Amino acid sequence: MAESKVDPRTAGDRPGRLLGGRYELLEMIGRGGMAVVWRALTHGASGFQRMVAVKRVDGSFKGFPEVTAMFVEEARVGAALRHPNIVQIHDFGIDETEEHYLVTEWVEGVHFGEWVLSHVRGRQETPPHLVAAIGIEVLRALDAAHSRLDASGRPAPILHRDVTPPNILIDAGGVVKLADFGMARAMDRGRMTRPDMVKGKLSYLAPELVLGAAASPQSDMFALGIVMWEALAMARLFHAPSDAEVVAMVRDARIPLLDFKRPSLPLGLTAAVHRALERDPARRFGSAREMLLALTQVLRVLPNATDSPVLAHSVAQARARLAQKAAQ
């Protein structure tokens, strides 16, 4: 019998493992950046059970103090954010091997990248009113983080720094949640970085970040602008064979007009997305709330419904299309 090989990046973690005496790992559902995410089951008193997500530092990064510090910071930052459109943190602990684990709510549905992909595979255009509606919910989350106050009532904004399609979750009930503040940092903390550690995904960085400037609310909105542009154009914006080429594209920030990609798109929607994608941060929206209000105005003049049942139906359709393609 062939010897079973264990992935060193997840050594020790396996389906059935119990963390902290409560969290049973069921299946690994994703790996990205410096973390691995598991679907897990909470076991409580009197047979209580609840599905959760458990995040662990990827084994490849164990022993890096900077990564551990970022993971601890993620828990600290996440615990400070309570909002319906932000994935909530339930627990943070250390297992018997002294490795950290982060427990968050489980969102049953699809992420935004899968939602868009389902339309591509179904040869359907993404509904612009739903792209705008999802963008509004993400902006509610960003507004809550950017306008956060500390216990003394003083401004203590938190920047996300990793607004990408996989971090925008749409649950089966039609609720949109922004996940993974793993690349975030509270403005009251020093930076934790190394020259070889890229914070955020290159294709969704704002131009000023690749030039060495500090992150800002405007850089988060630029990232959301990329996400929305790609959803509407159904194509990648900054995409190239090498990281160096991607960085050059981001730095130059030459944005093809959505009007040429899809002439039928609402003018107000394309104007809002392109404003978020201005190369100069000063020309973008002044705040997440300002962009939210601009998109809300777009929806007011469109006849289409965008409430939770409509989004829930869209999620069900997306999952069905993805399942059908997977079966084929």
Q: How many angstroms separate the CA atoms of 38 and 5, rounded?
A: 19
Instruction: Locate the DSSP E strands across the chain.
Output: 18-19, 23-32, 35-43, 49-57, 89-94, 100-105, 109-111, 158-159, 168-171, 176-178, 185-186
- What tokens does 105 get? 């709510």
Q: How many angstroms separate the CA atoms of 223 and 87, rounded?
A: 19
Contact between residue 320 and residue 120 where contact means Cβ atoms under 8 Å apart: no
Indicate which residue of 162, 171, 180, 220 is catalytic.
162
Q: Is 162 a catalytic residue?
A: yes
The gap from C-alpha 288 to its chain's centroid, in whole angstroms, comes to 16
- CA angle 287-78-88, nearest 5°? 100
The candidate with the shortest Cα–Cα distance to 31, out of 51, 5, 60, is: 60
Catalytic residues: 162
